[in-house]
Structure 1
Amino acid sequence: MPLKGGKSQDAVKSNIKTLVHEWEDEGKIGSSHPRSKKKAIKQAVAISLKKAGKSRTQQKPRKH
């Protein structure tokens, strides 16, 4: 199932849920084969945030 586009938190959550269900059914996410559910969730988060154009940790701009 294709992932949703967009930067909203709901789109990211939906994509994570879709990817984790894909792992449960097929045993793989994309081309990777995480062995544990914890690693599958981390991989799903990374893929979803990449699709949304976000990073896992948002950093504040540095003042010079």
Structure 2
Amino acid sequence: MATKKAAKKASSKKTATKKSEPKKAPAKKAAKKTASKKSSTRKYSPSASKNVETEMKEMKKGTLKSGRSGKKVTNPKQAIAIGLSEARKAGKKVPPPPEKKG
């Protein structure tokens, strides 16, 4: 009977010391993330960024229209998407559009 009580006390002391120790994140994973983000090649060609620039200027003027509906574009993200789409159609170096979820 005495051994069971002693075992319980010993186990409770062990868990108490584990809780007080701060957990440290491994440094190796953080180093890998920063190294993998660097890329030596361009994602977009300079001519593709020129397309985006012209579309942004049109949007700011208020003359940029979208698709078949012909509604005026007011969102800068939409203007960028239109510029990249035009660059893709022209065959310039642009990554494929992201796939839609759902």
TM-score using structure 2 length: 0.38
How many residues are aligned here? 51
Q: Which runs of 4+ in 1 moved over 3 A?
A: 29-32, 53-56
Gaps of 5+ in 2: 1-43, 97-102
Judging by fraction of residues, say which structure has more helix.
2
Are the structure 2 counterparts of residues 18 and 45 from structure 1 closer, same or farther at C-alpha, using a change threshold of 3 Å? Answer: same
3-state DSSP of counterpart to 1:35:
coil
Aligned to 1:24: 60
> Which letter does structure 2 place at the counterpart of 1:43?
I
TM-score using structure 1 length: 0.53
3-state DSSP of counterpart to 1:19:
helix
Deviation, 1:26, is 2.6
Asked which structure has the greater CA Rg, the reply is 2
Deviation, 1:55, is 5.8
Aligned to 2:50: 14
Over the aligned positions, Cα root-mean-square deviation in angstroms equals 2.9
Gaps of 5+ in 1: 1-7, 58-64
Amino-acid identity (%): 16
Which is bigger in relative contact order (C-alpha 8 A, separation at least 6)? 1
Deviation, 1:35, is 3.1
Q: How does 1:1-64 map to 2 (within 5 A)?
A: 9-29=45-65, 32=70, 33-52=72-91, 56-57=95-96
3-state DSSP of counterpart to 2:83:
helix
